[in-house]
Structure 1
């Protein structure tokens, strides 16, 4: 490994990206906010989002209020997710390294370890569905499809940032056309009274909200990774709006499709999600094209898992080793290692995917809402976007090794959610009182956010009077 790998990236190319977790100098910035829209639109218009929407019906919800609950959850979770995206152009850093400002250089390992598990879990679950699509396209077994998909994911993640955004643009156009066709076919195959399935219960309504909110909030550790190359002068509202609209529109479209598919198909959908979706389109060359589109959509988002997982692991390692950049060889080894674990997990767990994924997605929210709340409160209300970027790599610097105020607030957030948590293996004591509704994600945003604000504002003297960047004049 090398402490300071410097390369001329002022003219972006499709070679292996030289930067990893290091600061992106303003001379190397490029791109438009609209690229955030296409990336998140293409990444969310895909089969796993369809399955997530279907869960609202599979687990007992109706059609009308499941769709409404999903939409409200998209907006609430999407705002949290898009606020993280604004940090990329401002700091020129990937998402999780900014956690060192709240938790300390060593303390940031606590959320980082959980983020790595999240990336591997999402990569594995996405590989299961993509493996079905690749198998259908090639006429092979699901296991072969999973392996091929895992290799393709690793290759693109190694090449990095620019190719990922190109994939987002391609996937957004192809995915929109394919989903438009499939939506028309699904509506044609449904009975006219499908929308009369409206039976409101608080439990199923909040379940739908939790599914979509967790989907969006779980992207919080991702988003600045893909906005950090934007010019520093990019208006914050444009980055926010592009990210929010792309993610919410595509997710809601996919999840609404899933709700209708589950309501129409019933047991035929669960266990053969990809097969059912393709069967809507037809057979022969149309089916082959749809298998390709499903695999492409999953490839787009799975690359985000491999890329983000690689940077989270590097952030963890370099926090202790003192490095800011790594070599291309090390980059390749990190990415391959993450995808090897994810692919093996997919091969071993593909038989019980739907149930396991539901439990994973809802439980995951418990650990990331407190982190999001702490990170956003610090960025917008305590530090007010003023960070000492060089100090994020210095254990003896401004942020130190451990920041116990954030760690304590994170623990408070986890504990506060426990009584309201409703999963297949644990039910909090307040769940029955609330009609079997899970509001833990709401508690997980409010309680640690307020607690951190009250504790951290006493340390405002540690906040620099301006944003301090490694090698350039300060931003105004």
Structure 2
């Protein structure tokens, strides 16, 4: 029996084909898009990635770079390398989406096996849900800050819990309205939002620049090579790597004639440009006021640095920017949930994911202490297994030029991607080994006291935060040795 888009078992999909109509809810789940319906172009993806990365979430990453003792100029260089480089990887995985016409984690079944793919898929889902929680929490904080400016209520979520809850509810409602509609609506929303809110964002940031204590920024010392490398790792883990396993989700509608280089450039430039701006601004804010790094609300600096009416305007734009990232993340999470085996329609999978992130956001806002500690810990932990998957998936793409659309949905023992008991051990074993080895070089520090320190953390790789790149390199190398020769025949 083969899996339908909703996860049920039947010989053929039960849902009507995707028409691409703007006013219609996308009915397609995870089944490959027919070639006749693949009419996309790389410029569409440029707008998708630009709008998704124009949010205020880039600012905490910039603050974290200054906390690593980097100067603002070093932070900007790190932002360019980390953001453009990591999203070039997203672009490479988009090529697989053009080849197979299916979401990233569905294509991953060809690499890991229909059962062995459950591990990478679960990690991908946790990543998406985690980022959605961060987006929702930050958006709610923007509402808290706005209300505080206008009415004098509490300045953080715990002192204004009703406002925080209302902010979460508002954000979730708008997210479902776009994500539930699907691919065609997302393309239109992302394109126009890039122009409109990108321009307004730059205008409001200009007001913020005028109020920065540039003398204090100029006194920020420069860090050494180790700090720069750690900073690059932080940006990679917090930007492109978090999106890597979603690269094919939107690219599955790209025309078969689209070349690989434009796909890579659309992701790298589309995400890199806004990220460098937002991360750069975060680093400037962090350098101008060291207290920002310990703030419970990362938007405190904006509230304190701008006139009230401008600050409120920026909060609104921040809210919208986070929406543009979140509805794309929720869309991918819905596809990943279906790949994992939830037997519902795509739109219902979106709702399930949103319920989970709503609960997580409320806990994050009303229970957790601080913002930056949980944020950086989250991205550093998930960077390792995702990077290991990226290394293996990219190596597999060297030999694999297409994917069997029927086998991608066939979970039975007769399926071409069932392999040995549903697992392709050359891929899954490489993935697990890469994670275990990389964990030896990690330290998990959400607060002042480390929760975990690997026995190899004191080495150059560990102290410089290079465990994620070790995972990617080792995973890809092991798979090249043990699995690449059979990849070409496992279509």
TM above 0.5, one fold?
yes
Match of 2:359 in 1: 344
Structure 1 gap segments, 5+ residues each: 465-476
Does the Cα contact within 8 Å between 2:241 and 2:383 map onto a contact in 1?
A: yes
Match of 2:464 in 1: 437
**Cα distance in 1 between the residues matched to 2:181 and 2:20:** 15
The Cα offsets for residues 355-412 of structure 1, whole Å up to 9 and x where unpaired, read as: 1011001111011001011111101x232x2322211122322221111110110012
Does the Cα contact within 8 Å between 1:49 and 1:254 map onto a contact in 2?
A: yes
Q: Which of the numbers 362, 371, 387 marks the counterpart of 1:353? A: 371
**Cα distance in 2 between the residues matched to 1:332 and 1:10:** 16
Of 298-307 and 432-441, the range deviating more from structure 2:
432-441
Does the Cα contact within 8 Å between 1:160 and 1:307 map onto a contact in 2?
A: yes
**Cα distance in 2 between the residues matched to 1:314 and 1:9:** 17
2:417 aligned with 1:393, yes or no?
no
Match of 2:346 in 1: 331
3-state SS of paired residue (1:241)? helix
2:166 aligned with 1:144, yes or no?
yes
**Cα distance in 2 between the residues matched to 1:450 and 1:72:** 23
2:437 aligned with 1:416, yes or no?
yes
Q: What aligned pairs does 1:302-313 form with structure 2 within 5 A after superposition?
A: 302-313=326-337
Cα–Cα, structure 1 residues 176 and 281, in superposed 2: closer, same or farther, change >3 Å? farther
Taking structure 2 as the reference length, what is the TM-score of the superposition? 0.86
Of 454-463 and 155-164, the range deviating more from structure 2:
454-463
**Cα distance in 2 between the residues matched to 1:79 and 1:122:** 20
Deviation at 1:341, TM superposition (A): 1.1
Deviation at 1:136, TM superposition (A): 4.6
Match of 1:427 in 2: 453
**Cα distance in 2 between the residues matched to 1:202 and 1:17:** 48
Match of 2:98 in 1: 89
Match of 1:467 in 2: none
2:228 aligned with 1:213, yes or no?
no
3-state SS of paired residue (1:159)? coil
Taking structure 1 as the reference length, what is the TM-score of the superposition? 0.89
3-state SS of paired residue (2:443)? coil
Cα–Cα, structure 1 residues 66 and 281, in superposed 2: closer, same or farther, change >3 Å? same
3-state SS of paired residue (1:47)? coil
**Cα distance in 2 between the residues matched to 1:72 and 1:198:** 21
3-state SS of paired residue (2:452)? coil
The Cα offsets for residues 148-178 of structure 1, whole Å up to 9 and x where unpaired, read as: 2112212221111111122211331233223
Structure 2 gap segments, 5+ residues each: 1-5, 151-161, 446-450
Does the Cα contact within 8 Å between 2:112 and 2:424 map onto a contact in 1?
A: yes
Equivalent residues, number: 452
**Cα distance in 2 between the residues matched to 1:170 and 1:275:** 29
3-state SS of paired residue (1:301)? helix
Does the Cα contact within 8 Å between 2:171 and 2:323 map onto a contact in 1?
A: yes
Deviation at 1:192, TM superposition (A): 4.1
Does the Cα contact within 8 Å between 1:41 and 1:249 map onto a contact in 2?
A: yes
2:386 aligned with 1:368, yes or no?
yes
The Cα offsets for residues 288-345 of structure 1, whole Å up to 9 and x where unpaired, read as: 4322211111111111221111111111117xx7xxxx5xxx3333222211110111
**Cα distance in 2 between the residues matched to 1:353 and 1:5:** 44
Q: Which of the numbers 194, 199, 211 marks the counterpart of 2:222? A: 199
**Cα distance in 2 between the residues matched to 1:190 and 1:39:** 31
Does the Cα contact within 8 Å between 1:366 and 1:414 map onto a contact in 2?
A: yes
Match of 2:424 in 1: 403
Match of 1:291 in 2: 315
2:184 aligned with 1:168, yes or no?
no
Q: Which of the numbers 103, 108, 111 marks the counterpart of 1:99? A: 108
Does the Cα contact within 8 Å between 1:62 and 1:197 map onto a contact in 2?
A: yes
Cα–Cα, structure 1 residues 76 and 8, in superposed 2: closer, same or farther, change >3 Å? closer
Does the Cα contact within 8 Å between 1:202 and 1:437 map onto a contact in 2?
A: no
Q: Which of the numbers 240, 244, 247 marks the counterpart of 2:264? A: 240
**Cα distance in 2 between the residues matched to 1:460 and 1:336:** 36
